Amino acid sequence: DQQVKQNSPSLSVQEGRISILNCDYTNSMFDYFLWYKKYPAEGPTFLISISSIKDKNEDGRFTVFLNKSAKHLSLHIVPSQPGDSAVYFCAGGLYNFNKFYFGSGTKLNVKP
Amino acid sequence: KAGVTQTPRYLIKTRGQQVTLSCSPISGHRSVSWYQQTPGQGLQFLFEYFSETQRNKGNFPGRFSGRQFSNSRSEMNVSTLELGDSALYLCASSLEAGPGETQYFGPGTRLLVL
């Protein structure tokens, strides 16, 4: 049973517009969430994280929103750039255990 | 500083064989975690090692094992390979095994079991 789910396998967005990637989790105990970006033939790279004590964390063009009651988080990329085209994984877990469960990924394609 | 390296990058085995994958963490990193990535399943946590000790283990059968050496390098072994073991195996390192440590991933080893 997947504890973290990304229900959209792919997303296509025009350059300059907003990209919104969604992620749902089932374990209400999770208190830490991360987003990773993965290019083909490379390992995932850390993008941004959020603790459950916050509902928003921003880093440049990337903002992660957390809705604990809905067990939902989203990653917003504004403005989207062609170089953002990659697979994005969200992960959730327990901060003190450093053990995280990953979603299946969403492939983002930003069209020039 | 060199990133996480994994060897080999590609591997083809047949059912019933065993395989050993290697991971060299970023210099100074003491924690190494292993993940399996299959289409549609995302990344699934296998295990985490810190200071040569297994700290965490995912829900994988005993055919999957690992170890960590004193220089923090880690190996993962899969015995009696099954077709379903075909996947990309990723290793990630972090400075410590403490809470929320950022993990840095290697490029992965792609294993194909025929």
Evaluated on CA atoms A39, A43, A47, A48, the torsion sign reads positive
- Answer whether B40 sits within 8 Å of A104, measured CB to CB: yes
Banded pLDDT at B13 (limits 50, 70, 90): very high
Q: What is the pLDDT of residue B55?
A: 85
Interface of A with B (CB under 8 A): 2, 4, 6, 32, 36, 41-46, 49, 51, 89, 91, 95-105
Task: Pick the range with the lowest mean pLDDT from A13-22, A41-50, B29-38.
Answer: A41-50
For β-strands B109-113 and B10-13, DSSP reports them as parallel
H/E element, B112: strand B109-113
Strand partners, A20: A76
Q: What is the mean pLDDT of residues A17-44?
A: 91
Which residues does B53 contact at the CB level (< 8 Å), separation at least 6?
Answer: B68
pLDDT at position B99, please? 57
**Hunting for tokens 């901060």 — which residue is that?**
A95
Q: Residues B43, A38: contact at Cβ < 8 Å?
A: no
Taking residues A87-111, what's their average pLDDT?
87
Strands B42-50 and B19-24: unpaired
Cβ–Cβ under 8 Å, residues B5 and B74: no
Q: Which two tokens stand for residue B45?
A: 């946590």
pLDDT at B1: 62
Residue A78 has pLDDT above 90, yes or no: yes
HSE toward the beta carbon, residue A104, CA cutoff 13 A: 12
Q: How far apart are CA A78 and CA A58, in angstroms?
A: 11
Give the model's pLDDT for residue A39: 86
Q: Do B107 and A103 touch (CB under 8 A)?
A: no
> What share of chain B has pLDDT > 90, as a percent?
69
Nearest beta carbon to residue A99 from set B4, B41, B45: B45
B contacts of A98 (beta carbons < 8 Å): 31, 48, 55-56, 94, 97-101
For the stretch B56-108, pLDDT in tens is 888 899 999 999 999 999 999 999 999 999 999 999 998 877 656 778 889 89
Helical segments of chain B, H only = none
pLDDT for B98 equals 62
